[in-house]
Amino acid sequence: MNAVNKLIFLFITNSFIVNAQHLVMDSIGASYSNKQPLYKSEWIKKGFNTIGKFNDHPKYYIQKMNVFKGEESLVLIQSLYDHENSHWLVIVDNEGNLLDYIETAYDNDEGFLQIQSSFYEEDVVVDIYNGYESPDEITKAYLISANRFLLKKDIVFEYSESYGSTCCPKDPAWDTKESLEAYIKRFEKDHSVVLKESYKVIQGKEGEKTYYLSFKGWNKKVKERFIRERIQHNMFLNWSTMKTDTYNDMIKKNRRNLIFELR
């Protein structure tokens, strides 16, 4: 870990947490049971005024929670008025001072603005609906660094492979002579490259999944050779594609599925 150790706070009012293989859904709706009060003096001392001025009417709470891979984290809960609630995920230093934050959930009586998020081991995916904007729905994905949130807007996936059920009936893709993982390892060794951005999306309970690959850092010739060889290897199966997707496209299409690193 970098020199600045971090804690992660979630400012939230009514939230619902679901633990499913390290996945947490953050939205307005339920309340935490072990929350502790957070007072104005601490709010100011820790620099939380960057988020917003402490309001004496709502009540603020803090609660510990460990969600993210390799990170010590805390959940900070803020309760606003009955007709308006907000959540913020906040990175702080060892003394608890604010380093960075993102809004991860919001709702109000008017209903024109709604925010909810998904927390993975190393990612935060924020879904925003704003009735006054066009488009009215957008998705933003963030990586957590030592002292700030990094918006994942520059990752492009240029190749994907999809697998159907392992039974009932079985997808013939499962019978390929060389799995995608094995092919990647061999290709990296033969061409002295490393595939740094690759994700697996679980899409069903019978083994259904899609792999998304990004060739960022590879030259055009090596990238095209990887895709050409892989498609030729599986040309009798209709389960490969060269369609370009961004990271946020992938998240939006699979927002209810779990995302894991390929390796």
Whole-number Å distance between alpha carbons of 129 and 71: 29
Q: For the chain, which residues score pLDDT lower than 70?
A: 1-23, 29-32, 64-67, 69-81, 153-155, 234-244, 247-263
- Residue 74: per-residue pLDDT: 54
Give yes or no for a contact between 88 and 11, defined as CB atoms under 8 angstroms apart: yes
Are residues 100 and 108 in contact, defined by beta-carbon separation less than 8 angstroms? Answer: no
Q: Is the peptide bond prior to 58 cis by the omega test (within 30 degrees of 0)?
A: no
Would you state the pLDDT for residue 9? 56
37 close to 63: Cβ distance less than 8 angstroms? no
What does pTM read for this prediction?
0.58
